[in-house]
A and B are shown apart, each in its own frame.
Chain A
Amino acid sequence: MRMTQIIEALLFSSDAPLSADELARADESLNEDLVDEAIKELTQIYEESERAFEIKQLGGGYQILTRSVYAPYLERFDTVPKSSRLSTPALETLAIIAYRQPIGRIDIEYIRGVSSAGVIRTLQERELVDVVGRGDGLGRPLLYGTTGKFLEHFGFAELDELPRTEDLPVVLKGENVSEYDETSVGEEHSGRDNMGTDDLERIEVNDDESSPEMHSDSIK
């Protein structure tokens, strides 16, 4: 019995992504590097033998999923739940949170031009976003960020898989933008012209300094 098969057995039996760390717990001789190696090996085997499934990396975990070419056949079974697609406002709001996190409600509403409390609540209920901290502005507004579930829902391994803003058809020029909203997040505005990786990295900083008030139950 090889380690690769142990990993395969775990992935086969799981209906949710398993992280390398979780997979390594299966045996004392395993560690995350060995798990990654096993995943690579399995991926190659599945590809070469043209299996109907593949190992997909979703939000830091691995899961065996059927290849998308087989979707039409699987969808014939009415037991397959239709994946609940998000509404346009929900996607729009998620797009803002994903690229600007951590971001407060006021800022989200300013970008969208419409009130967003309901949409944010829905996204929170679906665990696609969560409160990741509080801003420095008036009333210490709650700041939202995306979750692991967000990555799973969209099939991303990590946030870096989102397109870089420089690659989008609409590119913002960062020059002379007035400070339009001093009330909420303060510092967070400085990076407006650079909505890509800089903002994304800042989440981790916020995570580290989480305090009891930073948890989602405080917003209720």
Chain B
Amino acid sequence: MDLTSTSLDSTREAFLVVDIERFRGPLDLLLHLIRQQDLDIFEIPISKITNEFLSAIGSISPSQIDNAGEFMEMAANLLRIKAQMLLPQGISSQEEDPRAELVYRLLEYEQIQEIRAHLSLAESYRGRQFGKGYVTPREDRKKQEITLTTTWDELYTTAISIAMPSMSVIDHKITTRLVAMEDKVDLILLTLQKLKRIEFSKLLEPFETKMHGVMTFLAGLELARNRKVRLRQAKMFSELWVYRFNDAEPEPAELDSHSGEE
């Protein structure tokens, strides 16, 4: 009889080092002990196996005690069989071997494991076949129209029940503008009273921060928009000239280039 085909994994276990949690119950453990030592299931050395079983379940920690009852029951069962075996043969010769029931249970358990393996295989094979609807269709592009059940009254009630944020909580950060555009407007106009035209860069020379450049440029744009100055630039990235509005006669060299805004 081939008993080795089911729990092959149990043979990997080191000799008598038994992790009780690996076993699905006392029968599993018992079969493991028997098979590990290649014992004849019909001639179980009950005393030996009982001791091994007891030492194996001795490692059950108090936290596992909930699941230990079944192992304890089997231990008691083994001890009973062991005691029966010790009775003089003459008295019990008519009776069957005290181990018979246990042997039957073990074989039955093994048979169930065979069937379990068979079911597992059938299950995985079945899982490879798909029926209608398994690949769900792509989502419908058209949005489904949903009937609105909310009334305006409900909406209004909800709206007014929403707490307005308290104004005192809001922190406003106000950074003062360090450079005023008005100053730059004055600067440009004053300069152009003395000169007909000036390079944009010259206007920036006394100052260092970028903000001066930005504000001077904005002032220039503003003045050009108000037709107070003209801006001219020969080509991209070349010097930008600021002209007095009236004196801005296009010079021949600058004719073929794009002029700035008027």
Query: Which residues of A does B touch, CB under 8 Å?
Result: 12-16, 56, 63-68, 71, 74, 77, 79-81, 83, 85-86, 88-89, 91-92, 94-96, 98-99, 110-115, 153-156, 162-163, 165, 168-173, 176-178, 180, 192, 195
Contacts and interface: CB of A to CB of B under 8 A. Distances in A.
Contact of A13 (B126, B132, B135): B132
B131 to A, nearest CB: 5
Nearest to A177: B104
Contacts of A98: 115, 119
Given A14-B132, A95-B115, A162-B115, A83 B126 contact: yes
26 contacts: A15-B132, A66-B131, A71-B130, A74-B134, A80-B134, A85-B120, A85-B127, A95-B118, A112-B27, A112-B112, A113-B25, A113-B28, A114-B70, A154-B119, A154-B126, A155-B129, A165-B111, A168-B115, A169-B5, A169-B6, A170-B5, A171-B1, A172-B104, A173-B107, A177-B100, A180-B101
B74 A113 contact: yes
A114 B112 CA distance: 14
Q: For chain B, give the interface size range.
A: 35 or more
Given A162-B118, A176-B96, A168 B70 contact: no
Contact of B128 (A68, A81, A153, A173): A68
Given A66-B129, A71-B128, A170 B135 contact: no
A57 to B, nearest CB: 12
A89 B23 CA distance: 11
Interface string B97-139: 0001100110111111111101110111111111111111000
Contacts of B114: 168-170
Contact of B115 (A112, A155, A163): A163
B24 interface: yes
B126 A80 contact: no
B26 interface: yes
Contacts of A180: 101
A55 B133 CA distance: 16
A74 B129 CA distance: 9
Main secondary structure of the interface of A (DSSP, over half): loop
B116 A153 contact: no
B24 A111 contact: no
Nearest to A99: B115
A136 B176 CA distance: 95
Nearest to A195: B111
Contacts of A111: 105, 108-109, 112
Nearest to A95: B115
A71 B129 contact: yes
Given A95-B118, A178-B101, 7 more contacts: A68-B129, A92-B116, A113-B105, A155-B123, A156-B122, A169-B114, A176-B100
Given A85-B123, A156-B122, A171-B1, A74 B111 contact: no
A172 B108 contact: yes
Contact of A91 (B105, B116, B127): B116
List the 9 closest A-B pairs by CB distance, nearest first. Answer: A155-B126, A114-B25, A71-B128, A68-B128, A83-B127, A95-B115, A113-B27, A65-B129, A113-B25
B107 A169 contact: no
A163 B25 contact: no
B107 A172 contact: yes
A65 B27 contact: no
Contact of B130 (A74, A89, A154, A170): A74
Given A13-B132, A80-B134, A114-B70, A169 B2 contact: yes
Contacts of B25: 112-114
B3 interface: yes
Contacts of A162: 115, 118
A95 to B, nearest CB: 4
Contacts of A170: 1-3, 5-6, 107, 110-111, 114
Contacts of B108: 111, 172, 192
A98 B159 CA distance: 61
Contacts of B24: 88-89, 92, 112, 114
Contacts of A192: 108
B119 A74 contact: no
B105 to A, nearest CB: 7
